[in-house]
Amino acid sequence: MTLDVRTGPDGLDRCAWVGDDTEYGRYHDEEWGRPLHGDRALFEKMCLEGFQAGLSWITILRKRPRFREVFAGFEPAAIAAFGDDDIARLMADAGIIRNRLKIEATISNARLMLDLEPGELDAFLWSFAPASRARPSSFAEVPATTAESDAMSKALKKRGFRFVGSTTMYALMQSAGMVDDHVDGCWRAV
């Protein structure tokens, strides 16, 4: 076993980034790297990855229930109607990441969602998923960006979306299962 895999209390070998955190373990086992579809689900993931920029994912994961509550379940039509009072309310909420630019980007991105046909975001994002890629044998082989995440970021920015840089979009690709970066030896890598 490599340093990139760690045996959990349940005896399962997992990607070492999970550590001993139960919530991280659940996320790793049940969500990360599993194909995610649906406009609302992918919109939520895109927003949360944007909030994560510069922070650790566990911070976002622990705050995700509150994010879902204050951002109307990430329903784009509801968020698109947010105004200045909502921004002030969100900026005062210690249960989320209180970054005005990220909050405003989420609202702006929700408004852009209203111009899309049902299923369009799903199909658009998944169109950037690579056909196949070798599983990494270590985290040293996991890139921060790829040509596909660069292209996804550029295309989203061209449509007016914000907080969708290439590194953030690669993290989205990982979490939404567009790429599978579970390292060799992880029980999810079989």
- Sign of the C-alpha dihedral computed for residues 76, 128, 143 and 138 taken in this order: positive
Catalytic-role residue among 27, 31, 126, 187: 27
DSSP string for 119-174: THHHHHHHTTS-S--PPPSSGGG--S--HHHHHHHHHHHHTT--S--HHHHHHHHH
Within 13 A of 46's CA, how many CA atoms are on the CB side?
A: 33
Is 186 part of any known ligand binding site? yes
Is 37 part of any known ligand binding site? no
Catalytic residue status for 27: yes
Is 182 part of any known ligand binding site? yes
Catalytic residue status for 49: yes
Is 28 part of any known ligand binding site? yes
Catalytic-role residue among 17, 57, 126, 187: 57
Catalytic-role residue among 32, 44, 49, 148: 49
Catalytic positions = 27, 49, 57
Which residues are part of a known binding site for Zn(2+)? 15, 28, 182, 186
Which residues are part of a known binding site? 15, 28, 182, 186
